[in-house]
Structure 1
Amino acid sequence: MADSAEVTPVVTCQSPPGPGKEEQGGGEGGGGGSETDAGAGLTETQTEVLERCLHALKHAKNDSQTLAALLLITRLCPANQLDKPTLRRIFEAVGLNLPARLLVTAVRGNDNCGLPPQELLSLGTALLSALSTDPDMAAHPQLLTTIPLLLSILGNGPMNQKKQAAEEQNQAGEMGLSPDSEVHLTDISNPENNPDSLDESVRETETSKQKGDDSSAANGASAPQETSSKLDEAMAADCYQVLTAVCALPRGPDQLLSRGAVPALCQAVQQNQTFSHKRGLALLGCLLAGKTKDKAWSKHPAVLLSLLVRLSKDFCQSKDQDKLDMCSKLVQFLPPVGVEVEKEELKGVVSRVWVELRPMMQAKLTPRQIRPILVLSACLLDLYGWEMVGPPKFCCLLVNRACVEVRMGLEEPPGTDLSPELQDTLTGCYRIMEAAIEQACCAGVTQTATPAQSSISTLSLQQSRQVLGVLEEAFSAIMYHLQQVDPSRYGDPFIFATFRSLCSWLAEETSCLKEEVTGLLPFLIGYSRSHLQGESQEQGLSDWMADMSVTQETAAWTGREALRYLLPGLCHLSAEEGPRKVLLTLDTPALLVDFLSQSWTSLKGKSGVASVRDPSMETACSALLNFTVTEPERVRKDPCFRTLETLLSEMLPVLVHKPRLLVLAANYCTLGLMMGRLKSAPSGSAEAGQRRFFSSALRFLRGALDSGSSPGPVKVSVSWEESWDEAAELWRLSLQALGGCVRAQPWITTLVREEGWLKHTLAMLAQCSALPDQQTQEVLEEALCAMANQCIHCKQEIGDTVTRSDKGALSCMRNLKKLVGVK
Structure 2
Amino acid sequence: MVDDVYQCLSAVLATARGPRELVIKGTVSALCQAYLNGGHGSDRALTLLMGLLAIAEAKCWQRDAPQLLAVLSKLSGDFLKAEDMTKFELCEVLPHFIPLSPPLTENSQGSECLCRLYKGLADVLGSKLSQSQRDPALKLAASLVQACGAEWISAGSGGSKFLALLVNLACVEVRLTLEEPGPMEMEGKKEVVTACYVLMEMGIQECLREENPLLENVQKMQLMRIMEEAFGAVIFYLREVKQEELQDPFIFASVRVLGAWMAEETSSLKQEICELLPFLVDYARKLFKEGSPAVSLPQAELVSTKGSALPQDALSFFPLTDFCYLDFAI
TM surpasses 0.5: yes
Q: 1:433 aligns with which of 200, 218, 229?
A: 200
Q: Does 2:28 align with 1:262?
A: yes
C-alpha distance in structure 1 between counterparts of 2:252 and 2:179, whole Å: 18
Q: Does 2:65 align with 1:301?
A: yes
Q: Does 2:180 align with 1:412?
A: yes
Q: Does 2:221 align with 1:465?
A: yes
Pair 1:543–1:413, CA change in 2 (3 A): closer
User: How far did residue 548 of structure 1 move?
Assistant: 5.3
Q: Specify the alignment match of 2:269 in structure 1.
A: 513
C-alpha distance in structure 1 between counterparts of 2:207 and 2:34, whole Å: 45
Pair 1:509–1:334, CA change in 2 (3 A): same
Q: 1:279 aligns with which of 33, 36, 44?
A: 44
Q: Specify the alignment match of 1:93 in structure 2.
A: none
User: How far did residue 415 of structure 1 move?
Assistant: 4.8
User: How far did residue 399 of structure 1 move?
Assistant: 0.8
C-alpha distance in structure 2 between counterparts of 1:245 and 1:544, whole Å: 29
Q: Specify the alignment match of 2:322 in structure 1.
A: 572
Q: Specify the alignment match of 2:91 in structure 1.
A: 327
Counterparts of 1:232-631 in structure 2 under 5 Å? 235-276=1-42, 278-290=43-55, 292-338=56-102, 342-390=106-154, 391=158, 392-413=160-181, 415=183, 418-420=186-188, 422-442=189-209, 446=210, 451=212, 457-534=213-290, 536=292, 538=293, 541-542=295-296, 547=301, 554-560=307-313, 562-566=314-318, 569-573=319-323, 575-576=324-325, 578-579=327-328, 582=330
**Contact residue 175 and residue 230 of structure 2 kept, 8 A:** yes
Deviations 1:178-214 (A, max 9, x none): xxxxxxxxxxxxxxxxxxxxxxxxxxxxxxxxxxxxx
**Contact residue 305 and residue 341 of structure 1 kept, 8 A:** no
Counterparts of 1:678-757 in structure 2 under 5 Å? none
C-alpha distance in structure 1 between counterparts of 2:109 and 2:255, whole Å: 35
User: How far did residue 286 of structure 1 move?
Assistant: 1.0
The amino acid across from 1:331 in the alignment is P
C-alpha distance in structure 1 between counterparts of 2:325 and 2:300, whole Å: 37
The amino acid across from 2:72 in the alignment is L
Q: C-alpha root-mean-square deviation of aligned residues, in Å?
A: 2.3
**Contact residue 252 and residue 299 of structure 2 kept, 8 A:** no
TM-score (norm 2): 0.90
TM-score (norm 1): 0.38
User: How far did residue 338 of structure 1 move?
Assistant: 4.0
The amino acid across from 1:578 in the alignment is D
User: How far did residue 535 of structure 1 move?
Assistant: 5.3
**Contact residue 298 and residue 339 of structure 1 kept, 8 A:** no
C-alpha distance in structure 1 between counterparts of 2:227 and 2:138, whole Å: 16
C-alpha distance in structure 2 between counterparts of 1:548 and 1:497, whole Å: 8
User: How far did residue 479 of structure 1 move?
Assistant: 0.8
User: How far did residue 374 of structure 1 move?
Assistant: 0.8
**Contact residue 298 and residue 340 of structure 1 kept, 8 A:** no
The amino acid across from 1:437 in the alignment is I
C-alpha distance in structure 2 between counterparts of 1:413 and 1:545, whole Å: 20
C-alpha distance in structure 2 between counterparts of 1:340 and 1:321, whole Å: 26
C-alpha distance in structure 2 between counterparts of 1:541 and 1:247, whole Å: 27
Higher relative contact order (CA 8 A, sep 6+): 2
The amino acid across from 2:307 in the alignment is T
User: How far did residue 361 of structure 1 move?
Assistant: 0.7
**Contact residue 358 and residue 394 of structure 1 kept, 8 A:** yes
**Contact residue 324 and residue 369 of structure 1 kept, 8 A:** yes
C-alpha distance in structure 1 between counterparts of 2:112 and 2:233, whole Å: 36
C-alpha distance in structure 2 between counterparts of 1:258 and 1:413, whole Å: 46
C-alpha distance in structure 2 between counterparts of 1:395 and 1:295, whole Å: 32
User: How far did residue 505 of structure 1 move?
Assistant: 0.7
Pair 1:441–1:541, CA change in 2 (3 A): same
Pair 1:518–1:343, CA change in 2 (3 A): farther
Pair 1:545–1:477, CA change in 2 (3 A): closer
The amino acid across from 2:96 in the alignment is Q
Deviations 1:42-63 (A, max 9, x none): xxxxxxxxxxxxxxxxxxxxxx
Deviations 1:760-816 (A, max 9, x none): xxxxxxxxxxxxxxxxxxxxxxxxxxxxxxxxxxxxxxxxxxxxxxxxxxxxxxxxx
Pair 1:324–1:490, CA change in 2 (3 A): same
**Contact residue 288 and residue 333 of structure 1 kept, 8 A:** yes
**Contact residue 289 and residue 547 of structure 1 kept, 8 A:** no
Deviations 1:603-658 (A, max 9, x none): xxxxxxxxxxxxxxxxxxxxxxxxxxxxxxxxxxxxxxxxxxxxxxxxxxxxxxxx
C-alpha distance in structure 2 between counterparts of 1:548 and 1:298, whole Å: 24
The amino acid across from 1:492 in the alignment is D
C-alpha distance in structure 2 between counterparts of 1:370 and 1:528, whole Å: 33
User: How far did residue 492 of structure 1 move?
Assistant: 1.4
The DSSP-based 3-state class of the residue aligned with 2:261 is helix
Taking only the aligned residue pairs, the percentage that are identical comes to 36
Deviations 1:387-422 (A, max 9, x none): 3424322221111111111111111247555234x2
The amino acid across from 1:262 in the alignment is V
**Contact residue 297 and residue 335 of structure 1 kept, 8 A:** yes
**Contact residue 337 and residue 549 of structure 1 kept, 8 A:** no
The DSSP-based 3-state class of the residue aligned with 1:320 is coil
C-alpha distance in structure 2 between counterparts of 1:513 and 1:315, whole Å: 40
C-alpha distance in structure 1 between counterparts of 2:300 and 2:53, whole Å: 11
C-alpha distance in structure 2 between counterparts of 1:388 and 1:545, whole Å: 20
Deviations 1:541-562 (A, max 9, x none): 4356794578xx73334412x2
Higher-Rg structure is 1
Q: Structure 1 regions of 5+ residues with no counterpart?
A: 1-234, 452-456, 583-823
Pair 1:548–1:302, CA change in 2 (3 A): farther
Q: Structure 2 regions of 5+ residues with no counterpart?
A: none
C-alpha distance in structure 1 between counterparts of 2:316 and 2:287, whole Å: 11
User: How far did residue 313 of structure 1 move?
Assistant: 1.2
C-alpha distance in structure 2 between counterparts of 1:343 and 1:518, whole Å: 48
User: How far did residue 339 of structure 1 move?
Assistant: 5.4
**Contact residue 179 and residue 237 of structure 2 kept, 8 A:** yes
Give the number of the structure whose residues are more often helix, by fraction: 2
Pair 1:543–1:507, CA change in 2 (3 A): closer
The amino acid across from 2:296 in the alignment is S
